[in-house]
Amino acid sequence: MNIPVVDLHHFINGSEEEKVQFASTLGKAFEDVGFVSVKNHGIPDDLINNLYATVKAFFSLSEPEKRSYEIAGLAGQRGYTSFGKEHAKGSDAPDLKEFFQYGQIIEEGVDSPEPYPNNVMVSSPADFNSLFHQAYRAFEVSGSALLSAIAIHLGLGETYFNQHIDLGNSILRAIHYPPILHEPKSAIRAEQHEDINLITLLVGASADGLEILSKEGEWLPVKAGPGEIVVNVGDMLQRLTNDRLKSTTHRVVNPPREFWHSSRFSIPFFLHPRSNMSLASLSSCISNDHPKLYEDYTAGFYLDERLREIGLKK
């Protein structure tokens, strides 16, 4: 599927007219499809390439080495999560993946808005921690610009999201889908689901497999062009806008049998706000034709609920 393509340069460095046009194009794409592909996103190619190289090296470590970074009690929100621990909401079959999560970094001398757990430091590969730190900050900048455009489209003012995402609870996740060694019972690499957060930024992937569910009920493959990232709406933003912006169902399918021997790597950035942000639907998105659909949750309460639903929290 050819998802809409937007150029973030036009928003960050463009005229006021170009910024408004970008916001309108992005907003309409999120209303109609829920996914876009973004050019000139500001995350350096060298950083992306180095990050993927170190992620592949990490997942090639022995099982005991990787499991030494799996910390009980963190609900998978920091460090390593071993194969088969997470499943999609409504599915009992675990996804065919393992992953590592890196969260918010509170710099020395800065007051934390909430008690975030420490990141799990990795000793090998040697550049793992520094690359994740750099990538996390780069994703925050790009994600913040995209949310500013969304805020303009919604008539909220460009800075609406700033106070909610500054030192927010975002997650950088590195995913490894290992080779498929025997016929899967029921799961695919990642069963159909919607993301929990405000928006997700997906930079690259080492193989095809991402599919989205169209309005007509068809599964359509999606892949960004060279130098582009895929960005999609999450459930938190859908709740906030009372379904005006669509959190589109997507999945990662198994490759053709002749490619079962191959791994797939993927690195999404899940942009979360601070836990105290209200997800109560905006009054501008509620009308007689579109009555309020959701209870008034905070982001933290909603995240906690969803982590239990997908098996990461007990």
CA atoms within 13 A on the CB side of 280: 4
Which helix (H) or strand (E) segment is 47 a member of?
Answer: helix 45-59
Instruction: Give the chain's count of helices (H) and strands (E).
Output: 8, 12
Residues in the chain, pLDDT under 70: 1, 87-88, 90-93, 184-190, 205-207, 313-314
pTM across the whole model: 0.92
Tell me, what's the pLDDT at 185?
A: 64
> What is the Cα–Cα distance from 178 to 82, expressed in whole angstroms?
11
- Residue 184 confidence (pLDDT): 67
> Which pLDDT value is given to residue 51?
97
Domains annotated on the chain, with CATH:
5-309 (2.60.120.330)
Tokens at 213, concatenated: 């569910």
Nearby residues of 27 by Cβ (< 8 Å), 6 or more positions away: 149, 150, 153, 154, 245
Q: Name residue, tokens 């700033």.
A: 162
pLDDT at 210: 87
Q: What is the pLDDT of residues 82-99, one digit of tens each?
A: 987 776 676 666 778 899
Confidence at residue 132, expressed as pLDDT on a 0 to 100 scale: 98
Is 285 in contact with 222 (CB distance < 8 Å)?
A: no
**What pLDDT, on the 0 to 100 scale, is given for residue 78?**
95
- Helix or strand holding residue 151 (H, E): helix 128-153
- Please report the pLDDT score of residue 209 as a whole number: 80
Predicted pLDDT of residue 118:
94
